[in-house]
Structure 1
Amino acid sequence: MPAPPAPGFRLYLLRHAKAGWALPGQKDFDRTLDHTGFAEAEMIAEMAADRDFAPELILSSPAVRCRQTAEAFRRAVGEDLNIRYSDALYTGAEDAYRDIIIGQSTAVASLLVVGHNPVIEEILREVLGEQAAAIPYGYPPGALAVIDFRERPQAGSLPPGKLVAWLDPECHVR
């Protein structure tokens, strides 16, 4: 049986793992993962590595909790993975995330975006349409969606994608 064709583009959407509440005087930006969050980030990263889910590039919000989640992923999947940080993934809305995804070089065939809710969930629902009903309880911290597209996203909007995998630290794998 022939192997299925390679996707035109693969998008990984990773919501940062569970973070602690801001301490008195601490900015939201500086919130760190709590003990559960560190464990979730490591678990999801290992599960992704076990399934050979390895993006060519990681784009992350510069918020501390996202950096920590991205680093766990890089350690598990490949130390040579390049992580870039974008302020728009911390401050931006759905259109900023969309523009960042669409704006990547055509040489990048797979991209991991590490960001925040509700925007991560909005992007997921945009590209999955009715398939998103398979994820009825929102986008939990630390969850990873793996989405394949037949063609590269181009200016304007993200094309419909197909959910290849959903890794959720709360119920391990769906």
Structure 2
Amino acid sequence: MKRLTLLRHAKSDWDDPVARDFDRPLNRRGEKAARLMGEHAARKEMRFDLLVASPAVRVVQTLETFFAGYGETLETHWDRRIYLASAPTLCDVVRDLPDSADNVLMAGHNPGFEELILELVPDDGASPLRDDIETKFPTASLAVLDLPIDRWAEARASIATLASFTRPRDLDPALGPGGR
């Protein structure tokens, strides 16, 4: 059994006049959400053998703030393929994960993460959480997928179970739509 936890970067600052999208930082609301999600992961005793992430500034800052809430830091394996990747590219990243890691945290972007979840979790009506993700996978959300495989290379469509899906607004309503 392999477990893949996806962390979408927190809300970024569109008012910051950066030259490239890659360099866009988090805003204050994003920092609050990332810390809250790290605290949630610690309370749920989530453990990770490996962290693979997009090197975009907003992902780097999300992880720094997430780990401040989580209480420990993991060594990050940066993979530029994750930056704004499509579901097929993210599937390649998953299949390339080392089999020595059973619990992987991947940090990156939408719409790719949402598409990846919808690809891996069957659309059979058995998962109300999948329906929630199909509606929206908001910034700083965590989705935990269980894959009944022994090797990451065996990952394929409709194989995963969505074990949990947590949005920042589930933990603090002020982080939901219209919140401050």
Could you tell me the TM-score, scaled by structure 1's length? 0.86
Q: Which of 2, 5, 10 is matched with 1:9 structurally?
A: 2
Write the distance in 2 (CA, Å) between the matches of 1:34 and 1:61: 18
Is the CA contact (8 Å cut-off) linking 1:54 and 1:77 kept in structure 2?
no
Write the distance in 2 (CA, Å) between the matches of 1:29 and 1:117: 13
- Point out where structure 1 has 5 or more consecutive residues left out of the alignment: 1-7
The 1:23/1:134 distance shift into structure 2, 3 A limit, reads closer
- 1:156-167 mapped onto 2 (5 Å cutoff): 157-158=156-157, 160-167=159-166
Give CA-to-partner distance per residue, 1:122-157, whole Å, 9 cap, x none: 001111122311434210000000111121432573
Q: What secondary structure sits across from 2:13 in the alignment?
A: coil
The structure carrying a bigger helix percent of its residues is 2
In structure 1, what is the equivalent of residue 39 of structure 2?
Answer: 46
Q: What secondary structure sits across from 1:129 in the alignment?
A: coil
In structure 2, what is the equivalent of residue 20 of structure 1?
Answer: 13
The 1:151/1:140 distance shift into structure 2, 3 A limit, reads same
* Distance apart, 1:117 and its partner CA: 0.5
- 1:67-106 mapped onto 2 (5 Å cutoff): 67-77=60-70, 79-106=72-99
Is the CA contact (8 Å cut-off) linking 2:9 and 2:58 kept in structure 1?
yes
Q: What secondary structure sits across from 1:171 in the alignment?
A: helix
User: Given residue 162 of structure 1, which amino acid in structure 2 is its aligned partner?
Assistant: T
* Distance apart, 1:162 and its partner CA: 1.2
Write the distance in 1 (CA, Å) between the matches of 2:47 and 2:69: 10
In structure 2, what is the equivalent of residue 35 of structure 1?
Answer: 28
Is the CA contact (8 Å cut-off) linking 1:22 and 1:31 kept in structure 2?
no
* Distance apart, 1:170 and its partner CA: 1.9
Q: Which of 105, 113, 118 is matched with 1:125 structurally?
A: 118
Write the distance in 2 (CA, Å) between the matches of 1:32 and 1:25: 9
The 1:148/1:156 distance shift into structure 2, 3 A limit, reads closer
Write the distance in 2 (CA, Å) between the matches of 1:128 and 1:156: 11
Write the distance in 2 (CA, Å) between the matches of 1:53 and 1:121: 21
In structure 2, what is the equivalent of residue 140 of structure 1?
Answer: 138
Cα RMSD (Å): 2.0
The 1:124/1:24 distance shift into structure 2, 3 A limit, reads same
- Alignment length, in residue pairs? 166
Q: What secondary structure sits across from 1:59 in the alignment?
A: strand
Could you tell me the TM-score, scaled by structure 2's length? 0.83
User: Given residue 29 of structure 1, which amino acid in structure 2 is its aligned partner?
Assistant: F
Is the CA contact (8 Å cut-off) linking 1:145 and 1:167 kept in structure 2?
yes
Q: Which of 47, 56, 81 is matched with 2:49 structurally?
A: 56
User: Given residue 149 of structure 1, which amino acid in structure 2 is its aligned partner?
Assistant: L
Write the distance in 2 (CA, Å) between the matches of 1:80 and 1:30: 22
